[in-house]
Structure 1
Amino acid sequence: MPALQRLAIEGRIQAWNLPQGVISHLFRDIAAGKPGTLTRVGLGTFVDPRLEGGRINAISTEERVRLMTIDDQEYLFYPALPLQVALLRGTTADSLGNVTMEREALVLEALAIATAVHNSGGLVIVQVERLAESGTLPPKAVRIPGVLVDCVVVCDALEHHWQTFQTPYHPGYSGELRTPMAAPGAMALSARKIIARRAAFELTPNAVVNLGIGMPEGVGAVASEERVLELVTLTAEPGVIGGLPAGGLDFGAALNTQAIIDQPAQFDFYDGGGLDIAFLGMAQADAAGNVNVSRFGSRLAGAGGFINISQNARRVVFMGTFTASREALEVVDGALRLPGDGQPKFVAEVEQRTFSGALAAADGKPVLYVTERCVFELTPEGLALTEIAPGVDLERDILAQMGFTPRMPAPLREMDPRIFIEAPMGLRETLLERPLARRLHLDAAGEVLFIDFENLHIATRDDVDDIEREVETRLAPLGRRVYAVVNYDHCRINDAVLEAYTAMVRGLEERFYTRVTRYTTSGFMRRKLGHALEARAVAPHIYQSAAEAEAHLHDGEG
Structure 2
Amino acid sequence: MQPDTHPLLSRRPFTEKGKVVSAREAVELIRTGDAVATGGFVGIGFAEHLAVALEERFLETGEPRDLTLMYAAGQGDGKSRGLNHFGHEGLVKKVIGGHWGLVPALQRLAIEGHIQAWNLPQGVISHLFRDIAAGKPGTLTRVGLGTFVDPRLGGGKINDITTEDRVTLLPIDGEEYLFYPALPLQVALLRGTTADTLGNVTMEREALVLESLAIATAVRNSGGVVIVQVERLAERGTLSPKDVRIPGVLVDCIVICEEPEHHWQTFSTAYNPAFSGEIKAPMAAPERMPLSARKIIARRAAFELAANSVVNLGIGMPEGISSVASEERILELLTLTAEPGVIGGLPAGGLNFGAALNTQAIIDQPAQFDFYDGGGLDIAFLGMAQVDAEGNVNVSRFGKRLAGAGGFINISQNARKVVFMGTFTASREELAIIDGALRLPAGGARKFVAEVEQRTFSGQLAARDEKPVRYVTERCVFELTTAGLALVEIAPGVELERDILAQMDFTPLMPRPLQPMDARIFRPEPMGLREELLAMPLKSRFHFAPDEDLLFINFENLRIASHADIDAIRDTVEALLAPLGRRVYAYVNYDHFRIDDHLLAAYSEMVHDLEYRFYHRVTRYTTSSFMRRKLGHALEARAVAPHIYESADEARQHLKDGEP
| Short-chain TM bin | 0.7 to 0.9
State the one-letter code of the partner of 2:164.
E
Deviation by residue 1:503-545 (Cα, 9 ceiling, x = unmatched): 42222564789xxxxxxxxxxxxxxxxxxxxxxxxxxxxxxxx
Q: Name 2:649's counterpart in structure 1.
A: 506
Q: How many residues align?
A: 494
The answer to whether the Cα contact below 8 Å between 2:551 and 2:584 also exists between their aligned partners in 1 is: no
CA distance in 2, matches of 1:502, 1:244: 47
**Residue pairs, 1:116-131, within 5 angstroms:** 116-131=218-233
Structure 1 counterpart of 2:518, from 416, 419, 423: 416
Query: Is 2:163 aligned against 1:61?
Result: yes
- Give the 3 Å change call, closer, same or farther, for CA 450–232 of structure 1 in structure 2: farther
Note if 1:405 corresponds to 2:548.
no
Distance 1:444 1:177, change over 3 A: farther
Alignment of 1:103-142 (within 5 A): 103-142=205-244
Q: Any idea what SS the aligned residue of 1:86 has?
A: strand
The equivalences for 1:418-437 within 5 A come to: 418-434=520-536, 437=539
More divergent stretch after superposition (343-352 vs 325-334): 325-334
Gaps of 5+ in 1: 461-465, 514-558
1:198 alignment partner AA: R
Q: Secondary structure at the match of 1:348?
A: coil
Following superposition of structure 1 onto structure 2, how do residues 30-109 of structure 1 map, counting pairs within 5 Å? Answer: 30-109=132-211
Task: Select 1:457's aligned residue among 554, 557, 563.
Answer: 557
Q: Which letter does structure 2 place at the counterpart of 1:252?
A: G
Counterpart AA for 2:479: E
> Which amino acid is the alignment partner of residue 148 of structure 2?
F
Render the CA deviation track for 1:328-381: whole Å, top value 9, x for unaligned: 111111111111110001100001000001111111111111111111111111
Distance 1:138 1:449 in 2: 62
For the residues of structure 1 that align with 2:361 and 2:196, how far apart are their CA atoms? 25
Equivalent residue for 1:516? none
Q: Who is 2:300 aligned against?
A: 198
Contact 2:391–2:458 (CA<8 Å) still a contact in 1? yes
One-letter code aligned to 2:123: G
Structure 1 residues 153, 408: closer, same or farther in 2, change over 3 A? Answer: same
The equivalent residue for 2:250 is 148
Q: Is the 8 A contact 2:314 2:381 kept in 1?
A: yes
How far apart are residue 255 of structure 1 and its match?
1.0
- Pick from 357, 361, 364 the counterpart of residue 459 of structure 2: 357
Please give the secondary structure, in 2, of the residue aligned with 1:21.
helix
Q: Distance in 2 between matches of 1:499 and 1:270?
A: 45
| Residue 379 in structure 1 maps to residue 522 in structure 2 | no
Match of 2:316 among 209, 214, 218: 214
Q: Contact between 2:382 and 2:420, CA under 8 Å: does it hold in 1? A: yes
Matched, 1:182 2:262: no
Q: In 2 relative to 1, CA 31–458 (structure 1 residues): closer, same or farther, beyond 3 Å?
A: closer
Q: Is the 8 A contact 1:95 1:134 kept in 2?
A: yes
Quick one: distance in 2 between partners of 1:366 and 1:268? 21
Could you tell me whether the CA contact under 8 Å between 1:459 and 1:497 is conserved in 2? no
Distance apart, 1:422 and its partner CA: 0.8
Structure 1 residues 96, 437: closer, same or farther in 2, change over 3 A? Answer: closer
Secondary structure (helix, strand or coil) at the match of 1:302 reads coil
Aligned-residue offset at 1:67: 0.3
Q: What are the residue-to-residue correspondences of 1:256-335 with 2, within 5 Å?
A: 256-335=358-437
Q: Distance in 1 between matches of 2:167 and 2:305?
A: 35
- The letter for the 2-side match of 1:299 is R
Q: What value does the CA root-mean-square deviation take over the aligned residues?
A: 3.0
2:650 aligned partner, one-letter code: G
- Judged with a 3 Å threshold, the aligned counterparts in structure 2 of structure 1 residues 373 and 506 are, in CA distance, closer, same or farther, namely same
TM-score, normalised with respect to structure 2: 0.70
CA displacement, residues 173-226 of structure 1 (integer Å, 9 cap, x when unaligned): 101111111111110111110100000000011111110011001011101110
Q: Structure 2 counterpart of 1:323, which letter?
A: T
Q: Secondary structure at the match of 1:206?
A: coil
Structure 1 residues 248 and 59 mapped into 2: Cα distance closer, same or farther (>3 Å)? Answer: same
Does the C-alpha gap of structure 1 residues 404 and 459 become closer, same or farther in structure 2, counting only changes over 3 Å? closer
CA contact (8 A) 1:458 1:494 kept: no
Distance 2:547 2:277 in 1: 50
Cα distance in 1 for residues equivalent to 2:623 and 2:396: 55
Whole-angstrom CA distance in 2 between matches of 1:447 and 1:391: 48
Tell me which moved more, 99-108 or 408-417. Answer: 408-417
| 2:199/2:251 contact within 8 Å kept | yes
CA offset digits 1:362-402 (Å, max 9, x no partner): 11111111111111111111111111111111111111111
Q: Secondary structure in 2 aligned to 1:111?
A: helix
Task: Name the CA distance, whole Å, in 1 between partners of 2:436 and 2:585.
Answer: 51
- Contact 1:322–1:344 under 8 Å retained in 2: yes
Contact 1:98 1:144 in 2 (8 A): yes
Could you say which residue in structure 2 is the equivalent of 1:229?
331
Q: What's the CA shift for 1:433? A: 2.6
How has the CA–CA distance of structure 1 residues 441 and 299 changed in structure 2, closer, same or farther, with 3 Å as cutoff? same
Query: What CA distance in whole angstroms lies between the structure 1 residues aligned with 2:336 and 2:410?
Result: 17
Residues 198 and 248, structure 2, Cα contact 8 Å, conserved in 1: yes
**Residues 257 and 263 of structure 2 are in contact (CA less than 8 Å); yes or no, is this contact kept in structure 1?**
yes
Per-residue CA shift, 1:109-154, capped at 9, x if unaligned?
0100100011111111111111111111110100000011111111
| Equivalent-residue separation in structure 2 for 1:44 and 1:324 (angstroms) | 26
Q: 1:126 to 1:451 in 2, by over 3 A?
A: farther
Residues 459/418 of structure 1: CA separation in 2 closer, same or farther (3 Å cut):
closer
**Structure 2: 5+ residue runs without aligned partners?**
1-102, 561-568, 592-620, 629-643
- 8 Å contact kept, 1:459–1:494: no
Structure 2 partner of 1:366: 468
Deviation at 1:439, TM superposition (A): 2.7
The whole-number CA distance in structure 2 between the counterparts of 1:479 and 1:410 is 31
Question: What is the match of residue 253 of structure 1?
Answer: 355
Q: CA deviation at 1:249?
A: 1.2
Percent identical: 75
Structure 2 contact 111–400 (Cα < 8 Å) conserved: yes
SS of alignment partner, residue 119 of structure 2: coil
The aligned residue for residue 11 of structure 1 is 113
Q: Secondary structure at the match of 2:420?
A: strand
CA contact (8 A) 1:129 1:157 kept: no
Q: C-alpha deviations, 1:30-80, integer Å up to 9, x for none?
A: 000000000000000000000110001111100100001000000000000
**CA displacement at 1:432 relative to structure 2:** 2.3
Q: CA deviation at 1:307?
A: 0.2
* AA matched with 1:457: N
Q: Does residue 311 of structure 2 align to residue 168 of structure 1?
A: no
Letter aligned with residue 311 of structure 2: V
Which string of whole-angstrom CA distances, capped at 9 and with x for unpartnered residues, describes residues 213-262 of structure 1? 11001011101110011111111100011111111111111111111101
1:404 is paired with a residue whose SS is coil
| Partner SS for 2:190 | strand
One-letter code aligned to 1:20: Q
Whether contact under 8 Å (1:124, 1:149) holds in the other structure is: yes
Q: What is the CA distance between 1:282 and its match in structure 2? A: 0.2
Q: CA deviation at 1:431?
A: 2.1
TM-score w.r.t. the length of structure 1 is: 0.83
What residue identity is the alignment partner of 2:192?
G
Shift of 1:502: 8.7
| Cα distance change of structure 1 residues 459 and 116 upon mapping to structure 2, 3 Å threshold | closer
Q: Is contact 2:141-2:179 (8 Å) kept?
A: yes
Structure 1 residue 408, shift from structure 2 partner: 1.3
Residues 148 and 371 of structure 1: CA distance in aligned 2, closer, same or farther (over 3 Å): same
CA positional deviation for 1:434: 3.2
Distance 1:87 1:478, change over 3 A: same
